[in-house]
């Protein structure tokens, strides 16, 4: 007997009825690049359609996104080069760009889930995620600063802090200090499996955070490895992470699936800047249809096991209403 599988594919309503995975705005998180000043925007040449913006302009974008069903944003600072130091002092400035942004966003949108990046590379004159000495990253010294940064963001109103540095033991130390300071309601989304990928270039352009010397292979995961990623995820789960993240996404769908099978924590996947720019540039050169490619890429991430997706396409798909609110 022939099984006629095409019966279940013959029209759009039937296909929708039996669709195994769906995308909605509640799955999506919008990254925002923030600069100091007022009423300013800056194009990012390697990320067509994405801009750095001052807090006042980002608030207008957030208002629009919230009206379209967005629940969450993650914010990143683009810091004046003159404020960057070898000890990343600006990361702990209570009057700095990110503390101001947190307060303004939460004042205007108290129900919005606000995630902040915990890392030193935007503030470090060396461009690394940790404190550099004699060509080596000082893990424990870096963690001390990251803990203080996380507490500062919690005091300002962040809902989740997201350590993206890949230092050993930082989730435990952040959780312990947050609890000690009575911020037990502030969550941790750990960049648990952050790979040493070639796909971060446009993001580093956005923050001007490319390492001045060397690379990040001594703390980010080797793209050849899977078990190492699982180990990092399980370590972070034990240390107190509330969610775990895999970064990048499309090149690491197998990792997302394996992580999902190993943990009961929500899994976040980050569709990174290089993934965004590849799809945008292919569309610009009429190699593929933009809307179809965006949805297919996001569905592949969802299908692989991601509960939440950070994507630079979030604002675009919200405004075009090509997924459900």
Residue 159 CA to residue 154 CA, distance in Å, equals 7
Q: Are 163 and 150 contacting, i.e. CB atoms less than 8 angstroms apart?
A: yes
Give Cβ neighbours of residue 289 (< 8 Å, ≥ 6 apart): 283
Which residue in this structure is represented by tokens 């600072």?
A: 77
Q: Are 210 and 198 contacting, i.e. CB atoms less than 8 angstroms apart?
A: no
Residue 38 CA to residue 50 CA, distance in Å, equals 18
Give Cβ neighbours of residue 65 (< 8 Å, ≥ 6 apart): 30, 73, 314, 315, 318
Residues with active-site annotation: 194, 247
Residue 63 CA to residue 56 CA, distance in Å, equals 11
End-to-end CA distance of the chain, in Å? 42
Q: What angle do CA 117, 122, 126 make, to 5 degrees?
A: 135
Give Cβ neighbours of residue 122 (< 8 Å, ≥ 6 apart): 76, 77, 78, 79, 91, 207, 209
Residue 119 CA to residue 124 CA, distance in Å, equals 9
């Amino acid at each position: 007997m022939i099984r006629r599988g095409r019966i279940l594919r013959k029209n759009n309503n039937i296909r929708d009825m039996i669709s195994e995975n769906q995308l909605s705005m509640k799955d999506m998180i919008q990254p925002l690049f923030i600069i100091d000043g007022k009423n300013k925007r800056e194009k990012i040449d390697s990320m067509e359609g994405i801009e750095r913006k001052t807090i006042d302009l980002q608030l207008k974008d957030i208002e629009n996104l919230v009206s379209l069903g967005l629940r969450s944003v993650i914010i990143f600072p683009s810091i004046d080069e003159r404020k960057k130091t070898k000890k990343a002092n600006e990361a702990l400035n209570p009057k700095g760009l990110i503390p101001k942004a947190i307060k303004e966003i939460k004042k205007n949108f108290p129900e919005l889930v606000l995630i902040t990046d915990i890392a030193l590379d935007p503030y470090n004159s060396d461009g690394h995620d940790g404190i550099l000495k004699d060509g080596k990253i000082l893990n424990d010294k870096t963690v001390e600063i990251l803990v203080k940064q996380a507490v500062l963001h919690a005091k300002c109103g962040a809902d989740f802090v997201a350590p993206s540095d890949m230092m050993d033991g930082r989730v435990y130390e952040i959780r312990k200090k947050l609890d000690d300071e009575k911020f037990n309601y502030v969550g941790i989304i750990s960049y648990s499996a952050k790979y040493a990928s070639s796909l971060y270039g446009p993001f580093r352009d956005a923050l001007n955070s490319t390492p001045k010397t060397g690379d990040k292979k001594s703390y980010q995961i080797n793209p050849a490895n899977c078990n190492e990623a699982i180990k990092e995820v399980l370590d972070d789960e034990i240390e107190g992470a509330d969610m775990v993240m895999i970064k990048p996404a499309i090149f690491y769908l197998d990792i997302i699936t394996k992580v999902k099978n190993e943990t009961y924590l929500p899994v976040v996947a980050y569709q990174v800047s290089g993934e965004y720019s590849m799809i945008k540039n292919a569309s610009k050169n009429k190699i593929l249809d933009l809307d179809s490619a965006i949805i297919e890429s996001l569905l592949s991430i969802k299908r692989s096991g991601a509960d939440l997706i950070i994507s630079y396409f979030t604002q675009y798909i919200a405004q075009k209403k090509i997924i459900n609110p």
